[in-house]
Amino acid sequence: MRRARVLMPGGVSSPVRAFAAVGGEPPVFTAGHGCRLIDADGREYIDHVLAYGPLILGHGHPAVRSALAARLPLGTAYGGPTILEVELAERVVAAVRSIEMVRFVNSGTEATMSALRLARAATGRDRVVKCAGGYHGHADLLLVEAGSGVATLGIPGSPGVPEAAVRDTLVVPYNDAAAVEELLAAEGDRVAAVIVEPVAGNMGCVPPRPGYLEALRELTARHGALLVFDEVMTGFRVAYGGAQELYGVTPDLTCLGKVIGGGLLVGAYGGPVALMERVAPSGPVYQAGTLSGNPLAMAAGCATLDELRDGAAYARLEALGGRLAAGLAAAAEERGLPCAVNRVGSMLTPFLGVVEVGDYAGARAADPALFRTVHAAWLAGGVFWPPSQYEAGFLSIAHGDAEVDRTVEVFATALAGDGSRGR
Ligand SMILES: *Cc1c(COP(=O)(O)O)cnc(C)c1O
């Protein structure tokens, strides 16, 4: 890290990795196997970060490894169409009910940025509505009251984002349909899209309240705005067909990333043919990418989805997630500590010191000192949890009951020995 910090800002390639919110040195990783990471000192960690979501099969799953091994001798980029794009597109279209046609990009940021460009073009409107604490990547127009690293660093947005770039970005609280109703009543004819994480994951995990997503669907349709589900985290994570399958609400456009790349660099956005055919070269909405549809990334994505398709993986992830959430909640209760354990399937967050979290304001009420204590204990006890209260923890099919129980045990010990109250 000493070498890294003089060469790269914070010594990292993405801010949360620097451990600013929890302090101390981040481990420097050399390998990942199954549900474990290994650092440069040879220490092993049970991994609940899982690359911030992509590694639903764990590290180095045999199916992903052999798909990549088979592709490696055949070259790494072609600058032209390949059958592998078709194969991943077929899987995505079959799985995600809102998607009839898809465009592959290289990150979640590109997916949301491009989907909103398309939404603005299709509606002829400029305004975009997002939720406080919602994170949709780091494109200028979406860096307003953002979650993830922006929330972790406690900054409102970012210098370098011109006022003009965010003038048309409107912010509402998550899980508050009345706020959207009011906003659209006033501004509805100028709003191109409402973009939302159907299960918020970047303020920590916050599930939608019953009826919330349905209300967004109805309100956007009523006002001629598009509903964009940012399923970069939830797609193929909370269910094979994403949150839209789990909750039975179909958006106009869907953004994907993380799991669909199987640990390589893939994002995607998709929707009905009539909308997607507005994208170049079929239509005038420009969007391109030198390495988009990369054969290695497509192959890793296909291999990952094929392991998930039969649904057994989700049953297993649900059982593991339930065990972990119940264990954390019981440990907190035993010590008389309020702790809202929010969970959808294999993504979850214990919000320490609060009884309920339904939005970003609620997430921010959690106790940061206690989170630091628990995080440090986890790290010392061989458990790698995201170094921020505003990130979801994950499970993979490579985790087992023993690892989950170890994570709970260290959590319980940290609370028992907690010297952080009032610090
Ligand atoms: C991770 C994430 C993004 C950004 O994806 P990158 O690949 O980091 O650009 C966007 N939206 C959501 C919901 C995410 O979780």
Q: What is the pLDDT along the chain (423 residues), one digit of tens a residue?
A: 999 999 999 999 999 999 999 999 999 999 999 999 999 999 999 999 999 999 999 999 999 999 999 999 999 999 999 999 999 999 999 999 999 999 999 999 999 999 999 999 999 999 999 999 999 999 999 998 888 777 776 666 788 988 889 999 999 999 999 999 999 999 989 999 999 999 999 999 999 999 999 999 999 999 999 999 999 999 999 999 999 999 999 999 999 999 999 999 999 999 999 999 999 999 999 999 999 999 999 999 999 999 999 989 999 999 999 999 999 999 999 999 999 999 999 999 999 999 999 999 999 999 999 999 999 999 999 999 999 999 999 999 999 999 999 999 999 999 998 644 433
Question: If you search the block for the tokens 């005038």, which residue do you land on?
Answer: 284
Ligand 1 probe mutation, 14, 130, 136, 391, most atoms within 8 A of CB: 136
Residue with the nearest Cα to atom 10 of ligand 1?
136
Quote the pLDDT of residue 421.
Answer: 47
Beta-sheet strand order (sheet of 191-196): 101-105, 267-271, 253-256, 226-230, 191-196, 127-131, 169-172
Domain formed by 2-61+311-417, architecture:
Alpha-Beta Complex (3.90)
Quote the pTM value: 0.96
Query: Is residue 363 a contact partner of residue 206, using CB atoms and an 8 Å limit?
Result: yes
- 3-class DSSP state for residue 325? helix
Q: How far is the CA of 138 from the centre of ligand 1 (A)?
A: 8
Helix ranges restricted to H, 97-153? 108-123, 148-152
Ligand 1 atom, smallest distance to 134 CA = 13
Rounded Cα–Cα distance for residues 96 and 326 (Å): 30
Rounded Cα–Cα distance for residues 268 and 256 (Å): 5
Rounded Cα–Cα distance for residues 340 and 320 (Å): 18
Helix (H) or strand (E) holding 342: strand 339-344
Backbone angles phi and psi of 319, in degrees to 5: -65, -45
Q: How far is the CA of 221 from the centre of ligand 1 (A)?
A: 25
Quote the pLDDT of residue 417.
Answer: 82
Class for the domain spanning 62-308: alpha beta
Rounded Cα–Cα distance for residues 276 and 5 (Å): 43
Ligand 1 atom, smallest distance to 110 CA = 9
DSSP state for residue 200 in the 8-state scheme: B
Query: Is residue 37 a contact partner of residue 382, using CB atoms and an 8 Å limit?
Result: no
Q: How far is the CA of 188 from the centre of ligand 1 (A)?
A: 27
Quote the pLDDT of residue 414.
Answer: 96
Q: Which residues contact 36 (CB under 8 A, 6 or more apart)?
A: 44, 45, 46, 47, 59
Query: Is residue 70 a contact partner of residue 80, using CB atoms and an 8 Å limit?
Result: no
Active site residues: 135, 230, 258
Specify the domain boundaries for CATH 3.40.640.10 within the chain.
62-308
Rounded Cα–Cα distance for residues 260 and 304 (Å): 7
Ligand 1 pocket at CB < 6 A: 107-109, 112, 135-137, 197, 201-202, 230, 232-233, 257, 267
Work out whether strand 226-230 and strand 191-196 pair parallel, antiparallel, or are unpaired.
Answer: parallel
Beta-sheet strand order (sheet of 339-344): 339-344, 347-352, 393-394
Specify the domain boundaries for CATH 3.90.1150.10 within the chain.
2-61+311-417
Quote the pLDDT of residue 60.
Answer: 98
